[in-house]
Amino acid sequence: MLLTGANFVAVTALVKHVGDAVPAPQAAFLRYVLGLVFLAPMLGPLLRAGIDRRGLALYSWRGIAHALGVICWFYAMTRIPIAEVTAMNYLNPVYVTIGAALVFGERLALRRILAVAVAFAGVLVILRPGFRELSDGHLAMLFTALFFGASYLMAKRLSERDSAAVVVAMLSITVTLALAPFALAVWVTPTLSQLFWLFLVAFFATAGHYSMTMAFRAAPLAVTQPVTFLQLVWATLLGWLVFGEAADGWVILGGAMIVGAVVFISWREAMLKRRVTTPPPEATKL
Residue 286 lies in a domain: no
Classify residue 182: in a domain, yes or no: yes
Residues 6+ apart with CB under 8 A from 44: none
Give strand pairing partners of 129: 132
Residue 284 in any domain: the answer is: no
The residues, any chain, with a CB within 8 Å of residue 246's CB and separated by 6 or more, are: 81, 240
Q: What is the DSSP string of 83-95?
A: HHHHHHHTTHHHH
Q: Is residue 282 a part of any domain in this protein?
A: no
Q: What is the pLDDT of residue 270?
A: 66
Q: Provide the CB-side half-sphere exposure for 84 (13 A, CA).
A: 27
For residues 66 and 151, the answer to whether their CB atoms sit within 8 Å is yes
Query: Which parts of the chain register pLDDT below 50?
Result: 276-286
Domain count, the chain: 1
pLDDT in tens, 205-244: 888 877 776 776 676 655 666 666 677 777 878 888 777 8
Q: Compute the distance between CA of residue 4 and CA of residue 211 in angstroms, rounded to an integer.
A: 6
Residue type at position 252: I
In a domain, 219, yes or no: yes
- Does 103 fall in a domain? yes
Whether 236 maps to a domain, the answer reads: yes
Residue 152: inside a domain, yes or no? yes
Burial of 57 (0-12, 13-18, 19+ CB in 10 A): exposed
Beta carbons within 8 Å of 47's beta carbon, 6+ residues apart: none
Q: What CA–CA distance (Å, rounded) separates 233 from 238?
A: 9
Give me the pLDDT at residue 177, please. 93
Residue span of the structural domain in which 240 resides:
2-277
Per-residue pLDDT at 89: 80
Which letter does DSSP use for residue 27 in this model? H
For residue 280, the SS3 value is coil
